[in-house]
């Protein structure tokens, strides 16, 4: 059971757009949560600078040289900072077994397209929108799902539909979906905080 206020840890490889929106909602009093830690695998990630400016503890944990050690360090760092719920905000590395086990059912990712049809290894960012356009489907969407050991295969907890408009390109669809994601993540976290969505 996750209690309110939510104690959130963030993982970001780049800008951390969702993390920024979530922290802004917390600061505005619109989301009962506490940002406890932000971790990046990329020491030059703008998300780290943002965390510093916002007064959120931040760490760089490189994953490529020794993934097992990085997994140990990540799981321990989240626990040491009292994190109860992990939010992936453009984190482009697969999580290891220790983190997945310690936070089973409490790691969230947002995916910019319908799952499972447009997910899996390598399906992130514009690649998702290119695949949606190429498939000729009438509708795309956003999916917030639990994270497990397979890319984009954890159970969905919230979905938002987004029509593919006539004349849409991957770029225009990406811009529209990207604009919708942060508020949808905040709304979903609010539903978790209120008990409307129950996680493990």
Which residues have a catalytic role annotated? 111
- Name the 3-class secondary structure at 159: strand
C-alpha torsion angle, residues 193, 105, 153, 169 (rounded to 10): 20
Length reported for the chain: 200
- Crossing angle of helices 46-54 and 17-27, in 10° steps, is 10
Contacts of 53 (CB under 8 A, 6+ apart): none
- Local structure of residue 30 (DSSP, 8 states): S
Structure tokens at 137: 């489907």
């Amino acid at each position: 059971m996750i209690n309110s206020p939510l104690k959130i840890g963030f993982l970001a490889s780049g800008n951390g757009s969702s993390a920024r929106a979530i922290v802004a909602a917390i600061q505005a009093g619109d989301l009962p949560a506490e940002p406890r830690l932000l971790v990046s695998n990329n020491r030059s990630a703008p998300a780290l600078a943002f965390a510093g400016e916002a007064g959120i503890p931040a760490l760089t944990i490189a994953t490529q040289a020794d993934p097992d050690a990085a997994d140990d360090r990540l799981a321990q760092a989240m626990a040491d900072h009292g994190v109860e719920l992990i939010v992936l905000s453009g984190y482009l590395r697969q999580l290891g077994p220790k983190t997945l086990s310690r936070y089973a059912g409490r790691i969230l990712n947002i995916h910019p397209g319908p799952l499972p049809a447009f997910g899996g290894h390598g399906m992130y960012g514009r690649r998702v929108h290119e695949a949606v356009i190429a498939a000729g489907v009438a509708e795309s969407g956003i999916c917030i799902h639990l994270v497990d050991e397979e890319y984009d295969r954890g159970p969905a907890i919230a979905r938002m539909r987004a029509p593919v408009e006539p004349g849409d390109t991957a770029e225009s669809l990406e811009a529209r979906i990207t604009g919708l994601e942060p508020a949808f993540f905040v709304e979903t976290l609010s539903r978790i905080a209120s008990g409307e969505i129950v996680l493990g």
